[in-house]
Amino acid sequence: MDLDQNKIEEQTPTNEGEYLEMVSHLKQIYDNLNDKCFKMEIKEMEYKKILMTTYGLARVIDVVAEGVWECPPELNILIETLRAHCSDALDVHIFNIVEH
């Protein structure tokens, strides 16, 4: 217990200069975390755009494949599986729909 109390006392500023230095350091940490958070939000938005585009392309391929008579059934199954998987990912990551 005394060891923890000593650590707290070591970190507590004793004068205005130390206080200002501590506040400046905390502001730098906050600004750094804020920048990282903003960059992560931008990346998340880009990933969501990619996911939505992939889903749209999978739907187009699914519709086109249905109209082709020579399309092997295995290929249709793969296309439908891709579309369903993309649809599930959209529900979770874009629309925030969680199944119980």
What's residue 5's pLDDT?
A: 56
- 77: in domain: yes
Domain that holds residue 84: 13-93
- Residues 70 and 64: beta-carbon distance below 8 Å: no
> Among candidates 30, 12, 32, 31, which has minimal Cα distance to 22?
12
Q: In the 3-class helix/strand/coil scheme, how is 30-83 assigned residue by residue?
A: HHHHHHHHHHHHHHHHHHHHHHHHHHHHHHHHHHHHHCCCCCCHHHHHHHHHHH
- 3: in domain: no
Q: Is the dihedral of CA 12, 16, 17, 20 positive or negative?
A: positive
In whole angstroms, how large is the CA radius of gyration of the chain? 27
What's residue 67's pLDDT?
A: 85
User: Rounded distance, CA 58 to CA 71, Å?
Assistant: 16
- 81: in domain: yes
What's residue 70's pLDDT?
A: 86
- 87: in domain: yes
What's residue 36's pLDDT?
A: 97
What's residue 16's pLDDT?
A: 87
- pLDDT by position in tens, the chain (length 100): 455 655 555 677 788 888 899 999 999 999 999 999 999 999 999 999 999 999 999 999 999 988 888 888 899 999 999 999 999 999 999 998 887 6
- 45: in domain: yes
What's residue 81's pLDDT?
A: 94
- 39: in domain: yes
Element (H, E) at 87: helix 73-93
* The one-letter amino acid at 58: A
